[in-house]
Amino acid sequence: MEGIYIHVPFCLRKCSYCDFYSVRFSEESAEAYTTAVIRNLRRYAPSADSVYFGGGTPTLLSPSQIERILREITLADNAEVSMECNPQTADREKFSEYRAAGINRISVGVQSLIDRELSAVGRLHDSQEAVRCIEDIYAAGIYNISADIMLGLPFQTAETLTETINGLLRLPIGHISAYMLTVEEGTPLSSDNRLLENIPDGDGLADMYLLACDILEDAGFERYEISNFAKRGSECRHNLKYWKCEDYIGIGPAAHSCYKGKRFAVPRDIGAFIENDIQQEIITDDEPLTEEERIMLALRLSEGICPDDYSCGERLIKRAEPLIKAGFLENTSGRIALTDKGALVSNDIIVRLTE
């Protein structure tokens, strides 16, 4: 079965660091968008074992709109149905309605539990609202909860990062995604010198990542992918499809797909998405999933790769040897995987293995 990714391109306000495609929310646009999503899903008539509503802010769609969308997908009995959420856009009652509509996993955009850091990048919630949001989700009967945090925020220190992580560990969550801040050209953050001067440098960011790894792993959260940590059994099954090269279909403006041997993307244009009978899909790779790409994606996972599975296996083993000695890779029972130190420079390590 394939996975379904649905990009919900609405926000109340764009955060200063964000380069994802989103537009200002209106009820009229949300309803027209929902109709277009349904129209495109009917084209595929998908059977899915995972659905992921990303954004943007998916919780700006009403529970009834989510339910109408999910009715167009034949879901496996144990399907994972995820939704991203910003804390200020839903309460316990609304989460209960999402649960009734079919949502069984929610990923909360916490980013930090330090109010100064949240304010610096334009988040609309404060730390108390983030905590209350997670408590409301659990009280509504959705127990598969993830939290996003960011590393390298303006004014962030090792102490404040520790405070954020420890605060989350006191809450009923089983998954944490820890993303390093990237200053994207053209975003408001990229031209704010005051904030840029207070972003940790490269060494500081590396130290924060390793600190996060240590705290989370000590608390029973395994790093199963470079930026993702989970208690056993709480890994995001939908995101694993990306790294394991399984088929997924993307619906909505800016959505990407890897399906039936092609990679394709939908233009970042909600007007065109709503107006066209079928979303435009631009082929970005008509021969994806080469051996090199499979190695690259598999190495993002903590389980790593078995060199014997690839035609270039002997070369992989030879090139891995000095990287293992340097502490960037480890070899466990014949499987080669990134260490926490190696995950910091994963792109360089992967290039050295596959070039």
The tokens for 70 are 């999910």
- What pLDDT, on the 0 to 100 scale, is given for residue 319? 93
- Classify residue 320: in a domain, yes or no: yes
- Classify residue 223: in a domain, yes or no: yes
**Last residue of one domain, picked from the residues 202, 224, 242:** 242
175-208 pLDDT, tens digit each: 999 999 999 999 999 999 999 999 999 999 999 9
Mean per-residue pLDDT, 11-39: 95
275-303 pLDDT, tens digit each: 999 999 999 998 888 999 999 999 999 99
- Classify residue 106: in a domain, yes or no: yes
- Classify residue 72: in a domain, yes or no: yes
- Looking at the fold, whether 34 and 157 belong to one and the same domain comes out as yes
- Classify residue 272: in a domain, yes or no: no
**Last residue of one domain, picked from the residues 177, 209, 242:** 242
CA distances from 246 to 4, 200, 239, 315, 316 (A): 11, 36, 10, 26, 23
Closest to 211 (Cα-Cα) out of 178, 183, 182: 178
355: pLDDT strictly greater than 80? no
Model confidence band, residue 354 (pLDDT cutoffs 50, 70, 90) = confident
Name the maximum alpha-carbon separation found in the chain. Answer: 59
Which CATH number do you get for residue 60? 3.20.20.70
- Looking at the fold, whether 216 and 322 belong to one and the same domain comes out as no
- Looking at the fold, whether 210 and 295 belong to one and the same domain comes out as no
80-114 pLDDT, tens digit each: 999 999 999 999 999 999 999 999 999 999 999 99
Q: CB-hemisphere CA count at 13 Å for 283? A: 7
Beta strands in 66-220 (DSSP E): 74-85, 105-111, 144-151, 175-180
Residue percentage of the chain with pLDDT more than 70:
100
Domain count, the chain: 2
- Looking at the fold, whether 222 and 314 belong to one and the same domain comes out as no
- Looking at the fold, whether 45 and 125 belong to one and the same domain comes out as yes
- What pLDDT, on the 0 to 100 scale, is given for residue 58? 97
- Looking at the fold, whether 233 and 298 belong to one and the same domain comes out as no
| Parent domain of 298 | 291-354
**Last residue of one domain, picked from the residues 176, 207, 242:** 242
Mean per-residue pLDDT, 149-175: 98
- Classify residue 76: in a domain, yes or no: yes
Which CATH number do you get for residue 347? 1.10.10.920
* 311 vs 69 pLDDT, higher one: 69
- Looking at the fold, whether 195 and 338 belong to one and the same domain comes out as no
- Looking at the fold, whether 304 and 161 belong to one and the same domain comes out as no
The tokens for 81 are 């149905």
The tokens for 110 are 């916490």
311: pLDDT strictly greater than 80? yes
Beta strands in the chain (DSSP E): 2-8, 10-11, 23-24, 47-55, 74-85, 105-111, 144-151, 175-180, 222-225, 228-230, 248-251, 256-259, 262-265, 282-285, 329-332, 335-338
- Classify residue 286: in a domain, yes or no: no
- Looking at the fold, whether 186 and 331 belong to one and the same domain comes out as no
With a CB cutoff of 8 Å and minimum separation 6, the contacts of 280 are 266, 267, 272
153: pLDDT strictly greater than 90? yes
CA angle, residues 10, 12, 13, in degrees to nearest 5: 105
222-231 pLDDT, tens digit each: 999 999 999 9
- What pLDDT, on the 0 to 100 scale, is given for residue 259? 95
- Classify residue 68: in a domain, yes or no: yes
- What pLDDT, on the 0 to 100 scale, is given for residue 321? 95
* 195 vs 355 pLDDT, higher one: 195
- pTM of the prediction? 0.95
- Looking at the fold, whether 238 and 344 belong to one and the same domain comes out as no
Mean pLDDT for all residues in the chain: 96
The tokens for 128 are 């108390």
- What pLDDT, on the 0 to 100 scale, is given for residue 287? 87
DSSP 3-33: EEEEEE-EESS--TT--S--EE--HHHHHHH
Compute the 3-state secondary structure of the chain and give helix, strand, coil in percent, each to the nearest 5.
40, 25, 35
With a CB cutoff of 8 Å and minimum separation 6, the contacts of 1 are 47, 48, 49, 76
- Looking at the fold, whether 42 and 113 belong to one and the same domain comes out as yes
Pairing of strands 262-265, 282-285: antiparallel
318-327 pLDDT, tens digit each: 999 999 999 9
